[in-house]
Structure 1
Amino acid sequence: MENNYPYDTRLNVKYDHLQLIDVPAIVKENQHKWFNQTLTQVNNSVVRVAIIEGEYHWHKHDNDDEFFFVLEGQLLIDLEDRTVALNPWEGFTISKGIVHRTRALVKTVMLMVETSEIVPTGD
């Protein structure tokens, strides 16, 4: 299902427990406009890094909340009734069932925390 979208989404866990997680190296090596890499798993959740520029499609997650935390750039989260702008060191949680999309007008680096079962493209 992931191949139906123009995003480079890597669901494999890149780092095991007790390994140093080097986000700057991932950012430096990235060549994609919309890249998502699972960094590590913590119990039933995963931490992902995303390097994005452009917009994602509208979607929702029926069973999972999502947390976004911006490291660089600016993330716009469009909801049905408003847009939330996140700048570096700001975060936002989207409750399950809420229709949303993310956008970045400039290259943006963020972390996401969500369950390991979540389908990134939505339900």
Structure 2
Amino acid sequence: MSNITSPKQVAASLTELWSPRVVAEVDDAYIKVAKVHGSLAWHSHENEDELFLILKGHLRIEMEEGAVELKEGEMFVVPKGVRHNPVAEQECHLMLIERKTTLHTGDVVTEKTRSLDEQLRPLERLVNPVD
């Protein structure tokens, strides 16, 4: 029996910014959600691609060759080795699909960097609204 999860609800329930939380795993990948606002950090993931799917809001992913602008429902894959910096001018909720070996801020460590243990912390149980 599998668990049904709403990435949108989980992301909306998060209280910390730039602190991805693992909501599922598929083979060698984690499915994560995050609530973000502001800028994360310029970094790269040398051996892993990173998929961003926007659940709510707008996200700009700055890269040395230019930037992509993503709105709700859109996704983009940052190829392995590409330096990038996610930026949200307003609060944005997103889903990430990354290999289990992917470090949060890749090759750099900042005050926003979260360890895998932090990302794997149990989520607060969501209460479904009564119709």
- 4+ residue stretches of structure 1 with deviation over 4 A? none
Tell me how far apart the structure 2 counterparts of residues 24 and 77 of structure 1 sit (CA, whole Å). 20
Deviation per CA, 1:39-80: give whole Å up to 9, x if none.
111001111101101111100001000010101000110000
Structure 1 residue aligned with 2:96: 112
TM-score by length of 1: 0.81
Q: Quick one: structure 1 residues 19 and 76, their matched pair in 2 at CA, closer, same or farther if it must change by over 3 Å? A: same
TM-score by length of 2: 0.76
Kindly tell me the number of residue pairs found equivalent between the two proteins: 107
User: What is the CA RMSD across the aligned residues, in angstroms?
Assistant: 1.4
| Higher strand proportion (structure 1 or 2) | 1
Unaligned 5+ segments in structure 1 are 1-16
Q: Following TM superposition, by how much is the alpha carbon of 1:24 offset from its aligned partner in structure 2, in angstroms?
A: 4.0
**1:41 is the counterpart of 2:25:** yes
> 3-state SS of the aligned residue for 1:119?
coil
Q: Quick one: structure 1 residues 29 and 56, their matched pair in 2 at CA, closer, same or farther if it must change by over 3 Å? A: same
> 1:67-82 alignment to 2 at 5 Å?
67-82=51-66
Structure 2 residue aligned with 1:94: 78
Unaligned 5+ segments in structure 2 are 108-131
Tell me how far apart the structure 2 counterparts of residues 80 and 97 of structure 1 sit (CA, whole Å). 12
- If you compute each CA radius of gyration, which structure gives the higher value, 1 or 2? 2
